[in-house]
Amino acid sequence: MVFVDGENLAIRYGKMLLNKGADPVPHIVYRPNVYVWSSGLRRILLLGGTVRTYYYTLVEGDELARETIHDDLERTGVEAPRVFRKTKERARRG
């Protein structure tokens, strides 16, 4: 199994793009500060014997916003997205 800190990964990916002055490549799905993933990575994980990918992230907004992010991640091949509501308290710590 693979456990992904999706919010942290997305923040770092965004900083990398900013530093390089680049745009995301087509096979990467990216929502700033929320998620970044590649459908190609899913294929690599399967070849390595990964059973399931758990992707944890936070999002501001209501239940619909969380469901949208959940569905986006499932479409990229993440079997177990875990999308939590970002509260003001969590936002200040991050």
Predicted local distance difference test score (pLDDT) of residue 93:
52
Residues 59-67 have a mean pLDDT of 93
Query: pLDDT higher for 18 or 51?
Result: 18
Percent of the chain with pLDDT over 70: 93
Residue 30 Ramachandran class (φ > 0 left, ψ -120 to 50 alpha, else beta): beta
For 18-30, the pLDDT digits (tens) are 999 998 888 888 9
Q: How confident is the model at residue 56 (pLDDT cuts 50, 70, 90)?
A: very high
Q: What residue ranges do the domains of the chain occupy?
A: 2-93
* Distance, C-alpha 60 to centroid of its chain: 14
Return the H-helix or E-strand segment holding 3. strand 2-5
pTM here? 0.79
- Which residues have CB under 8 Å from 69's CB, separation 6+? 31, 34, 35, 57, 59, 81, 83
49 — phi, psi (to 5°)? 95, 15
